[in-house]
Amino acid sequence: MYNIGTFSRITGLTVKALRLYHERGILEPRYVDEKSGYRYYNREDASRARVVVALKAMDCSLSEIRHVMAYCADESDLVGLLAIKQEALQAEIARLSNISFVIDRIINREREVTKMKEEGFDVEVKRVEPQLVISHRWTGAWMEIGDVVLKLRGAAEKEISGRIVNLCYNDEYRELDADIEVCMPISKTVESPWPCRTLEGGEFAVLLHRGPFETLGESYLRVFDWIEASGRKATLPTRQVVHKGPGPLLEGDPNNYLTEIQVPL
C-alpha cells in the first residue's frame, strides 16, 4: 500500500488533485484510515490513475473522466466518447484558427499603416481635369465594386483611357447601403447599357495610400486633418483612384495596392 504522498510521486498527480478525484468519485483510495483520514492506494489504483492522466491529457472534463472510470471496461468502450471529443476539438481548432486569422489581419494592417506613415506620402492640392467616363451608380456594398468594374470594362473594351475612379456620395461610412459610383475613363462615347458622362474636374486634396483597402481610414484621417488645419472645406463626393489594385483574374498582394484619395475642396 502507498500513502497519498508516495502515490502522488508514482502517478504524477498532485495530492490536491488526488483528493479532488476522491471527492468526485473518480479515483477512490483503496483504504482510508478512519482515525487519521490518511488515504492509501495499491498497484491496481496506479493503473487506474494512468487512465485518469491520459484522459486529463486529452482535455476531458471531470464528468467525462468520471463516466469513463465508472462505465468503460476497456479501450473499445471509449470509441464513442473519443469520437465526440475529437469532433469538439476539431471545432475548437477551427474556431481558434479563425481567431488567429483575424488577429493576423489586424497585425498586418497595422504594420502597413506604420509602413505607409514612414514612407512619407504627403497631402497636397491637385487640379483634376474633367474626363469622359462610362459609369454605374448604385446603392449597395463596397464589395460589389469588383463585379461592376468587370461589366464596365467589358462594355468599354478598347476605349478605356485611364484608371478606375470610385466615387462615394455619403458623408458617413456605410457598409451595405453606400451611395457608390464606379467610373471608367474612356476616349470616346460608347454604345452600352451603362451611361457615358463627363466627370467634373476641380481642386482636390489628395493623398497616395499604399496597402489594403481596409487601411484607407488612416489616410482619410490624414487628409481631413490637413483640410481642417488649412482652413478649407471638404465637399462630396470623395474619390478613390485605383492606381494599383486587384486585377481581373488575380487579386495580387493587397500590401502593394496603391490608391489615390481625392477629397474635393
> Which CATH number is 120-264 given?
3.20.80.10
State pLDDT tens for residues 118-136: 565 789 999 999 999 999 9
Nearest to 43 by CA among 7, 71, 90, 16: 7
Return the top range by mean pLDDT from 136-140, 161-165, 213-217. Answer: 136-140
C-alpha 222: how far from chain center: 25
pLDDT value of position 84: 83
pLDDT value of position 234: 95
Give 144's contacts (C-beta < 8 A, 6+ positions apart).
138, 180
Nearest to 241 by CA among 184, 159, 174, 170: 184
Q: 2-71 with 120-264: one CATH topology? A: no
CA distance readout (Å), 160 to 68, 108, 183: 71, 34, 11
pLDDT value of position 119: 60
Domain ranges of the chain: 2-71, 76-111, 120-264
pLDDT value of position 65: 87
C-alpha 96: how far from chain center: 11
Domain 2-71 maps to which CATH number in 3.30.565.10, 3.40.50.720, 2.90.10.10, 1.10.1660.10? 1.10.1660.10
Instruction: Provide the whole-model pTM.
Output: 0.56
State pLDDT tens for residues 103-122: 886 777 566 556 655 565 78
Cα separation, 247 vs 255, in Å, equals 14
pLDDT value of position 98: 85
The proportion of the chain whose per-residue pLDDT surpasses 70, expressed as a percent, equals: 92
- Average pLDDT over the chain, rounded to whole? 88
Confidence of residue 175 (pLDDT cuts 50, 70, 90): confident
Q: In this structure, are residues 224 and 148 in contact, taking their beta carbons and an 8 Å threshold?
A: no
Q: What residues does 196 pair with on adjacent strands?
A: 134
Q: Is the pLDDT of residue 151 over 60?
A: yes
Instruction: Supply angle C-alpha 72, 76, 77, rounded to 5.
Output: 30
Q: Is the pLDDT of residue 35 over 60?
A: yes
Comparing 53-57, 120-124, 130-134, 155-159, the range with the smallest average pLDDT is 120-124
Q: What are phi and psi of 134, to 5 degrees?
A: -105, 135
